[in-house]
Structure 1
Amino acid sequence: MKLKTIDVNGTTYAVIENGNPVYVHDDGKEIPFDAAASLNKISSLNSEAKAHREAKEKFETELKKFANITDPEKAIEALGIVTKLDQKKLIDAGEVDKVKAEITKVYQTQIEQAESKNKELQSQLYNEMIGGRFNSSKFIKDKVAIPADFVQSRFGTSFKIEDGKVVAYDQSGNKIYSRSKPGEVAEFDEALEFLIDNYPQKDHILKASGNQGGGAPQTQHQMGQKTIKRSAFDALSPLDKQATLRDGITITD
């Protein structure tokens, strides 16, 4: 990327936006570079790396306690024998496995119930955090010519919830990072714009003013018609095709 400049009366000046110099990336996008935020992020990453190193050193120290154990399987077996000997003080050794099986059964049921509830809560959280962002997206409202639920059906699987945040991944499985905030994951609209920019059929889902430059004619969606081009329809999943036909959207060639 290179610094964006302007010439004024023969003198070259850097272009500044919100106090930050603007850089032009290889694809032509102009992004302000926040140097202060970048330095703070580097400091944060250094602290994180230090924490990981200290944790590794602590683990290696603890591991040295087991340096004399040459056969881990026999060590585990010996621990099991000692445990049974302790339990024999309370119940007959022949009943130990039976009691363990009953306890395991009870806990297994509780674990399965907890996992089921957890999946239900995760689904609700996903619909609230990710579905809500599609429905309220300014980028979709301003730049996309198809409804938000159609956009979600195509790109929703690229977004995940990690540590309470919505994180986007590209087709190669890599996290999408922000250009305006180096080192930070991209916010929802910036990530969605990146995904659509790299979508082969983007010309069929973006509004004319968003992908053809000045003077481009309005799309049928902008003129109030509920239509979709056949090429765009063919690119949809079977479920999306059914939804399109059910909503009465007309397919055009």
Structure 2
Amino acid sequence: MKLKLDDNGNVVLQNGQPVYVHDDGKEAPFDAAAAVIKISALNREAQGHREAKEAAEARAKLFEGIEDAEAAIKALETVKNLKEGDLVTAGKVEEIKSAAKRAAEEQVAAAAKAAAEREKTLQGDLEKLQGQLHGELIGGSFSRSKLISEKFAIPGDLVQARFGQAFKIEEGKVVAYDQAGNKIFSRARPGEVADFDEALEALVDQYPYKDQILKSSGANGGGAPNGSHTGGKPPAGKGNFGGNKEDRLQAIKSQFPDLAQP
């Protein structure tokens, strides 16, 4: 292909474009601007193909040694399914852990509730036993008191009704407190707590109506009043000191009205 020249040796132009004569004798104008654009496009296309080829070669290197592509794909699917199975298994593990935690918490709560109920029952039994012990130790002390049998004009249960609240059980022993809340100590054994009769005698000494509940010098040996007592109040004739508790209480109220006062 060569430029077409006129008789003067100048390049023949067609629409401002030089005319070329091809090897087969055909003539055609050459559009240089279009050619540049086309060349640039072809270069870009070639570059794209080259980069794609290089990327494909790089990816192909990752699969070097793999001859059976179909088997490789199946293996990848197996691995994928295995990973999904692992996720499912992990979810099941968390579910099992949560269920076990809830079960443990429920068991602990049930055990705590049962322990609280058992503690409440034991506390009730303990209070009942303490009440029985209190009644036996303190009530027995009143019923067995030599001081009451010898010096009191009223039965022991009535003495207990008036002075029983002053006695408590401490470390298995009967201990008395005076009206000021002070523990009563023995005069015969300094530093030691007074025994029952000594403490009761101290309490009676502080009682303003003691002459009405103690035997007078002229009382008979039966423990009942002799018909006259300090204070000059005649017996009302109600109740019976030799009867049951209700009769004795009525008798003491009628003959010693001040005893009913706290």
Q: What TM-score do the two structures reach when normalised by structure 2?
A: 0.48
Bigger radius of gyration, 1 or 2?
2
Does 1 or 2 have the higher relative contact order (CA < 8 Å, sep 6+)?
A: 1
Q: What TM-score do the two structures reach when normalised by structure 1?
A: 0.50
